[in-house]
Amino acid sequence: MSQPITQGWDCHAHLFGPYAQYPLGEDRSYTPPEAVQADYLALLQRLGLSNGVLVQPSAYGEDHGLLLDTLAALPQLRGVVVLRADAATRLAGLRARGVRAARFSQRSAAGGNFAGSASLEDLEAMAAALADEGLHAELWTDCQVLPDIAPRLRALPVPVVIDHMGGFDAAAGVDEPGFRALLSLLEAGTVWVKLCAYRNVLGDADLERARPFHDLMLKANPEQLVWGSDWPHLRVTPVPDAQLLLETFKGWAGSDERVRQVLQDNPGRLYG
């Protein structure tokens, strides 16, 4: 790449703590190490990126104190909240505070949902309210369920951002029906996708097994792709180097123009 990116976005990260000020929810399913504002700002500086998107982690439930305080202190960041349908009235005014989306889950495991997450049914019930507030939806899902839920996603009145490249199955290959459904949704502009390859090839010595999936997404619709570090890489051993993840993306992107599109232009439209 001829010139470094200095105004780009990391579109998926989480904060935890300090716990003395922001204790985790009692009903959580995991207890991560602290990952505080200063740590994340240092990461952005190391990556050469200027902006970030913080996603509310399930360990905080619907207590958004840490997220909203951070957005107030750091206007270069944006936020993604987690709210269920019965709390839809809490969406009012969040955009002005730096929030851009609400996150939901619909997965093949855990009965279709994940502890501490809002469901696809919550999304459908809240979609009109999200649209009214100028917010979009982010969905943690996987390719096993995408063929079944694709019609429901097409019917939504708000943009839908698919986390973690749709949880594709590298062993199943690029012709697996669920991944093809994801490509179809992406090509039609129904969804955006966060490029975060490592989560789908955990245990591999390198990321190359994910590249064919990455390449097909770039071909399907490069205007609706963003990149996320997934810092601080919850419950992953060994912890990946976010710098290596970013450099891998840049290498796979194929051109400076495409890198700028995914790191700057696209997230600027979605989160700016």
The pLDDT value recorded for residue 29 is 87
Is this structure's pTM higher than 0.85? yes
Which residues make Cβ contacts (< 8 Å) with residue 205, sequence separation at least 6?
Answer: none
The pLDDT value recorded for residue 13 is 98
The mean pLDDT of 89-104, rounded to a whole number, is 97
The mean pLDDT of 259-270, rounded to a whole number, is 98
Q: Is the pLDDT of residue 1 over 60?
A: no
Per residue in 57-72, pLDDT (tens digit) is 999 999 999 999 999 9
The pLDDT value recorded for residue 2 is 37
Residue type, position 198, single letter: Y
The pLDDT value recorded for residue 3 is 44
CB atoms within 10 A of CB 27: 10
Q: What is the DSSP string of 197-227?
A: GGGGSTT-SSSGGGHHHHHHHHHH-GGGEEE
Distance separating alpha carbons of residues 146 and 142, to the nearest angstrom:
6
Calculate the average pLDDT of the chain: 94
Q: What percent of the chain has pLDDT over 90?
A: 88
Distance separating alpha carbons of residues 30 and 35, to the nearest angstrom:
14
The mean pLDDT of 114-126, rounded to a whole number, is 86
Q: Is the pLDDT of residue 11 over 70?
A: yes
The pLDDT value recorded for residue 114 is 53
The mean pLDDT of 229-253, rounded to a whole number, is 95
**CATH number for region 8-271:** 3.20.20.140
The mean pLDDT of 196-213, rounded to a whole number, is 92
Q: What angle do CA 115, 207, 110 make, to 5 degrees?
A: 15
Beta carbons of 127 and 156 less than 8 angstroms apart: yes
The mean pLDDT of 93-122, rounded to a whole number, is 84
Residue 33's Cβ-side half-sphere holds a number of Cα atoms within 13 Å equal to: 9
Q: Is the pLDDT of residue 160 over 60?
A: yes
